[in-house]
Structure 1
């Protein structure tokens, strides 16, 4: 059984359906019939692409042998080797790959409900709709906060969202004949995009500022009010007023992990080098619900789509090995590179020793998106939904 239809879960079930004989029963469980390329949620939230460009029907990439169930998982009972669902059904398993993904994490922040999280296709469409509704409302309200958008967090997702907004917000202002829309990003760290070379990070900051974005670093968010983000810096407490506030600060694993009684932190379970539990080797945890230690840093690997895909494949390979009484494969990871989009024609990236910025990095980002569609779905889906519109 594979729980979750995201990057890791889909990669796992596609491997299993190819590698295991037909007499082995395969079940995939997802709380939605749709797979979302979540690394592109910022584009939907900013309104630069339609939701159907980053989604596809999960069943369309499964073999008929796979029992695909659209269910909400409530509990993984490792002692009795069974899964409980919100519907009341209970299903047994011999092996399970838990790939239940992430949720937005507010860290107990006061007033967090006043911000819009970005963690799913539905939340992305809510953000896009909210921004446009506020801009359209300005004609009657004349409330300046209708033309203020604040993004909380300048991590990967936050920066990519700000980049997309620098393209879409001027178009919204022109559409509704309003003054310029003000875009602010608030970040506690003093430097953004630390995973990149400093020169590339500086390029990203300079580009976003040139496009009108206001980046507030060294600013700790202390509360979110209905129309303002409260933050403090070296000069004291301040408020950034806006009627659209978006939360991209952090994520944690699925609540099912804590609800199932796993030994966890932020709904992530530390697993061994084979991605399974020592006490229950038939249970594999991958993606955002797992913590795999990087031997080089003695810290968990970051939760990225790239790592999740590799984990899904290794976990599936190890299930096949376990069924065939063969040795397990150790999970190792070497980054294939990192690219952060700043707009549809600009980005920064590092691939090996190569550092890219501007359109070349943007082109690489599009290639990565197309490759992801190919590997997560199939060639037809890539041609139909890829970034070069080959079908059209």
Structure 2
């Protein structure tokens, strides 16, 4: 009998436990560890932050969707001791394993930028998303008393997936709040260091996204390098000239890194991501599998690590589980192989851009695809009942 421990119940961890349930004998001991009793569909956090959807819509109880054979343990991991085959927790307890899948996810990364940790609101989990939503509404709500123009200015730092999807949702929610509290129209500024947003998309689709957001009144600043976050302003340079964008709500979506448990465990890492073998484990400790946002898996085509996306995390969780089953049977492990099923970025409830193979989608068809992806994730990682409760069905209207 073996004990298999999965650390983290995000996309990779939930997919891993699903396959472990199916592939391993009943005599094996399966333990899933997470610091919260709920799973969050983190690709939809921007909707909660903007206030266009309730938090309950993108979360579900982990115990409601896992098999009874899986022991679910709530705890905060502080270290993984690979030599002792132990997981250490903040309450001083430990957990031994024969195999471990480390899928501890990401945290917001401010790269040590002056003022970022004190003056900007990060977006990385359900609590931070709710804090952003509350902060925005409080600023607009109290505008009648404060008459502070900056209360109506929202600045989003970063124009990657999260930043652009958040800006798109804000173009929906801010006008509603203005109407609710009878204020002038709030303003949205998006600041990005790169000269082009969404470079992973075809130029035509990226241009479509830019035009859509600008038509919604978004002030999109590209080629703008942020140097400091002040209490109510973002300091940036444009053509070597220092400038400021003023606003009482400053949201940070510039970057992420893996869980700090990675560095604290002494792994060879960069930004808390560990380069793993083609089998997703460590050469020196083949019983240790590292997947998701804490893993760096090399793409043989580019010789660079695959990007950290939910889609890749799901596939890694599946491969890690299957390879543990192979290892238990004395079989050869499978090399990780990944082929993208497509990429979609939401711009609003009924607008998005997407690429599926050679097909390029924009507008309503792309938004439908985004919702189908959400429903599929709920079905495969949770169950049919959860999909019915949490899924997106306005696509059929």
Q: 2 CA distance for matches of 1:12 and 1:84?
A: 21
Instruction: Indicate which of 324, 327, 332 corresponds to 1:327.
Output: 332
**Map of 1:342-353 to 2, 5 A cutoff?**
342-353=347-358
Match of 1:260 in 2: 265
Mark the runs of 5 or more structure 1 residues left unpaired by the alignment: none
Q: Is the 8 A contact 1:73 1:85 kept in 2?
A: yes
TM-score (norm 2): 0.98
1:296 paired residue number: 301
1:103 aligns with 2:107: yes
Query: Aligned partners of 2:263, 2:240: CA distance in 1, in Å?
Result: 39
Q: Matches of 1:33 and 1:19 in 2, distance apart?
A: 24
User: Aligned equivalents of 1:262 and 1:384: distance in 2?
Assistant: 40
1:76-95 residue pairs with structure 2 within 5 A? 76-95=80-99
**CA–CA distance in 2 between the matches of 1:106 and 1:235?**
22
**Partner residue of 2:135?**
130
Q: 2:68 is matched with which residue?
A: 64
What residue in structure 1 maps to residue 164 of structure 2?
159
The offset of 1:317, in angstroms, is 0.3
Q: What is the deviation of 1:389?
A: 6.5
Equivalent pairs counted in the alignment come to 392
Say yes or no: does 1:19 pair with 2:57: no
Aligned to 2:314: 309
Find out whether 1:341 has 2:318 as its counterpart: no
Shift of 1:64: 1.3
**Which position in structure 2 is the counterpart of 1:8?**
12
Question: 1:74 is matched with which residue: 78, 81, 91?
Answer: 78
Deviation by residue 1:179-221 (Cα, 9 ceiling, x = unmatched): 0101000000000000000000000000000001110000000
Runs (5+) with no aligned partner, structure 2 = none
The partner residue of 1:179 within 178, 184, 188 is 184
Contact 2:344 2:353 in 1 (8 A): yes
Of residues 31, 49, 56, the one that matches 1:52 is: 56
Between the aligned partners of 2:389 and 2:355, the Cα distance in structure 1 is 28
- Structure 1 partner of 2:239: 234
- Post-superposition Cα deviations, 1:34-53, rounded to whole Å, max 9, x if no partner, equal 00000000000000000000
C-alpha distance in structure 2 between counterparts of 1:38 and 1:62, whole Å: 19
In structure 2, distance between residues paired with 1:342 and 1:3: 33
Moved over 6 A (4+): none
Q: In 2, Cα distance between the equivalents of 1:51 and 1:217?
A: 31
- SS of the aligned residue for 2:210 comes to helix
Are 1:228 and 1:242, in contact at CA under 8 Å, matched by a contact in 2?
yes
Structure 2: distance between partners of 1:150 and 1:24: 50
Distance 2:38 2:144 in 1: 37
Partners of 2:66 and 2:382 within 8 A in 1: no
1:142 deviation in Å?
A: 0.2
**TM-score using structure 1 length:** 0.99
Q: Which residue of 1 aligns with 2:40?
A: 36
2:368 is the alignment partner of 1:363: yes
- Say yes or no: does 1:204 pair with 2:209: yes
Q: CA deviation at 1:235?
A: 4.7
Conservation of the 8 A alpha-carbon contact between 1:383 and 1:389: no
1:145-156 map, 5 Å: 145-156=150-161
Query: Equivalents in 1 of 2:135, 2:378: separation in Å?
Result: 28
1:76-100 C-alpha deviation (Å, 9 max, x unpaired): 0001100000111111100000000
